[in-house]
Chain A
């Protein structure tokens, strides 16, 4: 058993191995796409903050304004000083940090530093304002313009180049992302498919197991049923047969001394035993027909009044010591059914009532109409039926846990119930512990114009 389990485990893992691989590919592809787009985002953020073109343009503009201020015939010292500072600040900005590296890359860092130095040689704070200084500043500004223009040009073309490269990168990344996501999607689909397939396999295997188990169970219960059937039927036959046997023995022992009364006494016993045997064989035959679907009900209207009268009469003849009461309601009590089968059902209910109640207590059969049904209620004053026996009362071979039940075959009520269903009726039971039970057969009312079959 344990060996088998191990190999099962291994095969289970083996079936999940491609799944794991696909999952890894899926995660890898997604991770790659994520890393690519994150790098792109970082690059764009840096590019956005750098904005070198803006820095150069600002410098260009400040230099221009300084040149204009210095060229003005009425030199405003404060304004010139302010513009001088601003121009210098912009040139400083260009020669620091990331800006300096950028300019170094395109070969302009030296010229920017040179511009700064040149400007500082005309520092109004150090030299003091004078028309000559202003004129020199104006000349310097004009001479620097071509240089700063060239830097602006180069920065612009470099920026455009970079933007184009970045766009290429972006497109490539986009393709990688699309490819990765598509790949991940395919992997996910494959994973789902594998999972579903495995699950289906498991499900089918489980179904097969269940089916095999249920077939086995069915087989067991069938053979058990036949075993029960043979045991019970043979047991039930033995009792009447031994009664007949002993009656015959007594008569033969008496030899010629046999009186008419002796014969009459034995005749009653034998007749009773034969009656029991006949009913048993009847039941078994009905059962066989029910099981092979050979039982065809011959539906016809039945006058229940006359049917129950003859049934009670026969039962009374079999059990002269018991009190059987019959009461029929007023009006036509005509049910639709099969007279023979209805007789069998009611005979069974009456026999049970007699069998399971004390001698000296009466048995009552009441017939009445209720709605579209005719009811035949058989009441005894026996011990009643245990609650735990009720759900299985109509099951075949179920004989209850009560001591007295040991007498039955466990077939009578089952056959009665099955016949009732065949007739489209209902068989109900009400019981009170220690007081008795009422078994009621409900049959549909026959239509008025149908011809009534009498017993």
Chain B
């Protein structure tokens, strides 16, 4: 099963992360991407064009400012050719997200919230954030399930 492999890979990465402090991979790309599996460090993700997005969320108050890379930039950087992304979180939560959503909306993989690095002890290392304040149709519980926090792996199908 692909997902078990992803999780295994993520666990290995995390184990590695504990020992090596400098360049710890925080995200694994598998499936229909160029050179899969790809392990990405924080600095690799920061090398992608960075975007800011201020939006309300269903689990916080106010409108925090998120900062990170556009999901579509990440997928095109690694020549993804799938239509669905299986997003996997640290706690094994997983959900299918259609790639078309990343094209239609400026969905970001947030690395920072209000200038603070997102920590795995909160919703880090990566939180998928939708511009829900800019699009009425995103204010729907069916989209809330795609706001994956503690994202550690993406499998493109």
Chain B residue nearest to A79 in the complex (CB): B11
Q: Scan residues 2-42 of chain B and give those whose CB is less than 8 A from a CB of chain A.
A: 11, 14-15, 18
B18 touches A78 (CB 8 A): yes
Q: Please choose the segment from A89-97, A206-214, A327-335, A336-344 that sits at the chain B interface, where 4 or more of its residues have CB less than 8 A away.
A: A89-97
Q: Scan residues 83-122 of chain B and give those whose CB is less than 8 A from a CB of chain A.
A: 90-91, 119-122
Output the least CB separation between B151 and chain A (Å). Answer: 13
User: A85 to B122, alpha carbons, bound, how many Å?
Assistant: 8
Chain A residue nearest to B59 in the complex (CB): A97
Tell me which residues across on chain A come within 8 A of B57, comparing CB atoms.
97
Tell me which residues across on chain B come within 8 A of A386, comparing CB atoms.
none
**The one of B60, B141, B150 that contacts A89, using a Cβ cutoff of 8 Å:** B150
B18 touches A96 (CB 8 A): no
Total A-B pairs in contact (CB under 8 Å)?
50
A78 touches B11 (CB 8 A): yes
Tell me which residues across on chain B come within 8 A of A85, comparing CB atoms.
90, 119-121
Tell me which residues across on chain A come within 8 A of B59, comparing CB atoms.
93, 96-99
Output the least CB separation between A170 and chain B (Å). Answer: 18
- Residue B144 lies at the interface, judged by CB distance under 8 Å to chain A: yes
A42-80 CB mask vs B (1 if < 8 Å, else 0) is 000100111000000010001000000000000001110
A88 touches B121 (CB 8 A): yes
A161-204 CB mask vs B (1 if < 8 Å, else 0) is 00000000000000000000000000000000000000000000
- Residue A249 lies at the interface, judged by CB distance under 8 Å to chain B: no
B141 touches A49 (CB 8 A): yes
B90 touches A81 (CB 8 A): no
User: A99 to B11, alpha carbons, bound, how many Å?
Assistant: 29
- Residue A233 lies at the interface, judged by CB distance under 8 Å to chain B: no
User: A93 to B149, alpha carbons, bound, how many Å?
Assistant: 11
Tell me which residues across on chain B come within 8 A of A135, comparing CB atoms.
none
Name which of B59, B90, B91, B120 has the most chain A CB atoms within 10 A of its CB. Answer: B91
A78 touches B141 (CB 8 A): no
- Residue A86 lies at the interface, judged by CB distance under 8 Å to chain B: yes
A49 touches B91 (CB 8 A): no
Output the least CB separation between A129 and chain B (Å). Answer: 9
B90 touches A78 (CB 8 A): no
**The one of B15, B91, B120, B150 that contacts A78, using a Cβ cutoff of 8 Å:** B15
Tell me which residues across on chain B come within 8 A of A50, comparing CB atoms.
58
- Residue A82 lies at the interface, judged by CB distance under 8 Å to chain B: yes
B123 touches A49 (CB 8 A): no
A241-264 CB mask vs B (1 if < 8 Å, else 0) is 000000000000000000000000
Name which of A50, A58, A85, A93 has the most chain B CB atoms within 10 A of its CB. Answer: A85
Chain A residue nearest to B11 in the complex (CB): A78
- Residue B137 lies at the interface, judged by CB distance under 8 Å to chain A: no
B141 touches A45 (CB 8 A): yes
B61 touches A98 (CB 8 A): yes
Output the least CB separation between A221 and chain B (Å). Answer: 73
A92-B14 contact in complex given A45-B141, A86-B90, C-beta closer than 8 Å: no
B90 touches A82 (CB 8 A): yes
B121 touches A92 (CB 8 A): yes
Interface size classification for chain B: 20 to 34
Q: Scan residues 60-95 of chain B and give those whose CB is less than 8 A from a CB of chain A.
A: 60-61, 90-91
Tell me which residues across on chain A come within 8 A of B144, comparing CB atoms.
49
Output the least CB separation between A9 and chain B (Å). Answer: 48
Tell me which residues across on chain B come within 8 A of A45, comparing CB atoms.
141
Chain A residue nearest to B58 in the complex (CB): A49
Chain B residue nearest to A129 in the complex (CB): B18
Tell me which residues across on chain B come within 8 A of A82, comparing CB atoms.
11, 14, 90
Output the least CB separation between A75 and chain B (Å). Answer: 13
User: A89 to B90, alpha carbons, bound, how many Å?
Assistant: 11
B60 touches A86 (CB 8 A): no
Chain A residue nearest to B144 in the complex (CB): A49
User: A81 to B90, alpha carbons, bound, how many Å?
Assistant: 12
A97-B60 contact in complex given A86-B90, A88-B121, C-beta closer than 8 Å: yes
Tell me which residues across on chain A come within 8 A of B141, comparing CB atoms.
45, 48-49
Output the least CB separation between A115 and chain B (Å). Answer: 14
Tell me which residues across on chain A come within 8 A of B18, comparing CB atoms.
77-78, 81
User: A79 to B7, alpha carbons, bound, how many Å?
Assistant: 12
**The one of A49, A89, A97 that contacts B120, using a Cβ cutoff of 8 Å:** A89
Output the least CB separation between A413 and chain B (Å). Answer: 83
Output the least CB separation between A57 and chain B (Å). Answer: 12
Chain B residue nearest to A45 in the complex (CB): B141
Tell me which residues across on chain B come within 8 A of A48, comparing CB atoms.
141
**The one of A58, A77, A78, A89 that contacts B122, using a Cβ cutoff of 8 Å:** A89
Chain A positions near chain B (C-beta within 8 angstroms)? 45, 48-50, 58, 62, 77-79, 81-82, 85-86, 88-89, 92-93, 96-99
Q: Could you jot down 29 A-B contacts, CB within 8 Å?
A: A48-B141, A49-B58, A49-B144, A62-B91, A77-B18, A78-B18, A81-B14, A81-B18, A82-B11, A82-B90, A85-B119, A85-B120, A86-B91, A86-B120, A88-B121, A89-B90, A89-B120, A89-B121, A89-B122, A89-B149, A92-B121, A93-B123, A96-B59, A96-B61, A97-B59, A97-B60, A97-B61, A98-B61, A99-B59
Additional pairs, 10, CB under 8 Å, beyond known A89-B149, A92-B122: A49-B58, A82-B14, A86-B90, A89-B90, A89-B123, A96-B59, A97-B59, A97-B61, A98-B59, A98-B61
Chain B positions near chain A (C-beta within 8 angstroms)? 11, 14-15, 18, 57-61, 90-91, 119-123, 141, 144, 149-150
Q: Which 7 residue pairs spanning A and B have beta carbons closest together?
A: A78-B15, A97-B60, A97-B61, A85-B120, A88-B121, A49-B58, A85-B121
